[in-house]
């Protein structure tokens, strides 16, 4: 497999020929006008079809307050020109749910700062675009489950629903490690319901009950072997989500509810002898991949469709589709040419992963057209993102196109696309994955290759030294302290 760099596909014909030669199917519109069309959602008109996906930065204080780096990022989300801000970034609903000691936390103490953060985003948007009545801003609510490291970066404090034969080993969870009880789950639901109330007080239009990327919400969906009322049948595995949605509707009827869903999942991948990713060997039927067909690398959307229909029946109108997990199969979620430090060389052309996500999202939108669907994983498309995105929207394959890494390197990407400007090539994300490598090393996240602001941080030197030496740890002195 010879992967061509996207930047070398200089004309639309070259791009389309490359897709054809590699049997990759993606929509493509010559004209990007579809992205400028408004979208109606429950009486509100949202100004365009671009969305900013949640992008955390591992840069909050140790007690979960935003820092200047977080404020800068959210200001950039507002400046982007996209009219839907899906979640901002993951905010843990309680301390033990944080994925890292610098994750945002939502509670009574952090509420004023989080309200200011939203206000900063909205104000920045207003200064650039003159209006905000057509802007929709949500907050993503999370508990990190088996990937929780709330106090120390290298110390996992997992909260698990069941023992997973491969992930337990990968993370170092002992066979007798306790699983969360049904009573504790009921208490956790209360935390989500309270967090949604706080998010409403902070002015957010909606909350996202995160069900993706291997975190706790997502783990419920694959808890096929868990006994009791939260495991086994699909009804039981989606009970956590249903009860939270019902609780929020009862307590805070004014706030909208969305769900970000990993709609399919594969086996965990690891580097093979040649460094390329390959699935960890697993004999027989693999039941732990929600939306999987049992082979570990195939898709069956029957359950995801039933889940989406259930969400609709509960009054949830917004869903954002993603896949897999950044911890064990990042190539299906954030296709990249250059892997992060803890991953593997691409096992497929990243365009294959991009198309898999886009086409799966289209199938889900077709199956449940009443939902407003946001797609993910477009950044790898680089120069061709606008045309593919416009093709998706024009064809009704998603209502919004969401992107993440591109907003870090090129904050005004959306506005340039929407205004038909020539894209600034030196700002386009080339998927170097430093935004993931840096936090894996204990540094803050950001676009180190292209955002000069990050090149001025001490973290930049730490990252550069560690990468040069091929290290998987920091080998230089003190990184930036988000506390300062």
Binding site for ligand FMN (CB under 6 A): 53-56, 89-90, 140, 212-213, 260, 322, 333-334, 376-380, 403-406, 435-436, 445
Q: How far apart are CA 301 and CA 215, in angstroms?
A: 20
Residue 214, Cβ neighbours under 10 Å: how many?
A: 25
H/E segment holding residue 449: none
* Smallest distance from ligand FMN to CB 331, Å: 11
Residue 75's CB is within 10 A of a number of other CB atoms, namely: 18
Q: CB nearer to ligand FMN: give 179 or 462.
A: 462
CB contact at 8 A, 357 and 379: no
Q: How far is CA 253 from CA 96, 166, 205, in A?
A: 27, 40, 11
Smallest gap from Cβ 403 to ligand FMN, in A, equals 4
Report the residue number, 28 or 282, with the smaller CB distance to ligand FMN: 28
Enclosing H/E stretch for 58: none
Report how far residue 85's alpha carbon sits from residue 83's, in angstroms, rounded to the nearest whole number: 7
Residue closer to ligand FMN (CB basis): 361 or 379: 379
Among residues 89 and 113, whose Cβ is nearest to ligand FMN?
89
Q: Tokens for 218, please give them.
A: 């997502």
Q: Work out how close the CB of 67 gets to ligand FMN at its nearest, in angstroms, rounded to a whole number.
A: 15
Which residue, 239 or 430, has its beta carbon nearer to ligand FMN? 430
Q: How far is the CB of 320 from ligand FMN (least distance, A)?
A: 8
Q: Toward ligand FMN, which CB reaches closer, 237 or 440?
A: 440
Cα–Cα distance for residue pair 21/6, rounded to 1 Å: 15
Nearer to ligand FMN, 77 or 380 (CB): 380
Q: How far is the CB of 319 from ligand FMN (least distance, A)?
A: 13
Strand spans (E) along 220-376: 256-262, 269-271, 277-279, 318-322, 372-375
Q: How far is the CB of 57 from ligand FMN (least distance, A)?
A: 7
Give the nearest distance from C-beta 139 to ligand FMN in angstroms.
11
Nearest to 219 by CA among 241, 192, 244, 250: 241
């Amino acid at each position: 497999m010879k992967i061509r760099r996207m930047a070398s596909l200089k004309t639309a014909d070259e791009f389309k020929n490359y897709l054809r030669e590699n049997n990759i199917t993606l929509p493509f519109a010559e004209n990007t006008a579809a992205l400028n069309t408004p979208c109606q959602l429950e009486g509100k008109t949202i100004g365009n079809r671009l969305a900013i996906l949640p992008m955390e930065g591992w840069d909050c204080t140790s007690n979960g307050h935003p820092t200047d780096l977080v404020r800068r990022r959210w200001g950039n989300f507002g400046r982007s020109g996209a009219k839907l801000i899906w979640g901002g970034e993951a905010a843990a609903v309680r301390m033990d749910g944080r994925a890292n000691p610098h994750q945002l936390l939502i509670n009574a103490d952090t509420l004023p700062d989080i309200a200011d953060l939203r206000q900063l985003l909205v104000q920045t948007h207003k200064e650039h675009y003159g209006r905000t009545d057509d802007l929709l801003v949500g907050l993503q609510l999370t508990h990190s489950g088996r990937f929780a490291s709330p106090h120390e970066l290298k110390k996992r404090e997992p909260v698990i629903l069941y023992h997973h034969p491969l992930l337990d080993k990968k993370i170092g969870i002992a066979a007798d490690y306790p699983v969360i009880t049904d009573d504790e789950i009921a208490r956790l639901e209360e935390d989500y319901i309270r967090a949604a109330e706080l998010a409403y007080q902070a002015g957010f239009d909606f909350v996202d009950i995160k069900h993706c990327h291997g975190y706790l919400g997502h783990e419920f969906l694959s808890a096929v072997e868990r006994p009791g009322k939260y495991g086994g049948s699909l009804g039981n595995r989606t009970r956590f989500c249903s009860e939270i949605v019902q609780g929020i509707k009862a307590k805070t009827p004014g706030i909208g509810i969305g769900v970000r869903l990993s709609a399919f999942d594969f086996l965990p991948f690891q580097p093979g002898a040649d460094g390329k990713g390959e699935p960890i060997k697993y004999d027989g039927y693999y039941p732990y991949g929600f939306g999987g067909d049992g082979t570990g690398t195939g898709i069956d959307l029957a359950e995801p469709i039933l889940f989406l229909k259930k969400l609709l029946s509960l009054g949830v109108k917004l869903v954002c589709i993603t896949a897999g997990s950044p911890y064990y199969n990042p190539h299906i979620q954030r296709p990249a040419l250059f892997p992060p430090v803890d991953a593997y060389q691409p096992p497929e052309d990243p365009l294959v992963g991009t198309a898999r996500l886009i086409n799966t999202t289209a199938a889900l939108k077709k199956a449940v057209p009443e939902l407003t669907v946001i797609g993910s994983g477009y950044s790898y498309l680089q120069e061709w993102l606008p045309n593919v995105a416009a093709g998706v929207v024009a064809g009704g394959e998603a209502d919004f196109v969401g992107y993440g890494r591109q907003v870090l390197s090129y904050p005004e990407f959306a506005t340039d696309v929407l205004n038909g400007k020539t894209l600034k090539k030196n700002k386009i994300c080339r998927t170097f994955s430093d935004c993931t490598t840096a936090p894996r090393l204990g540094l803050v996240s950001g676009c180190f290759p292209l955002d000069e602001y990050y090149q001025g941080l001490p973290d930049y030197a730490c990252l550069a030294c560690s990468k040069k030496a091929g290290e998987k740890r920091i080998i230089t002195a003190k990184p930036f302290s988000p506390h300062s």
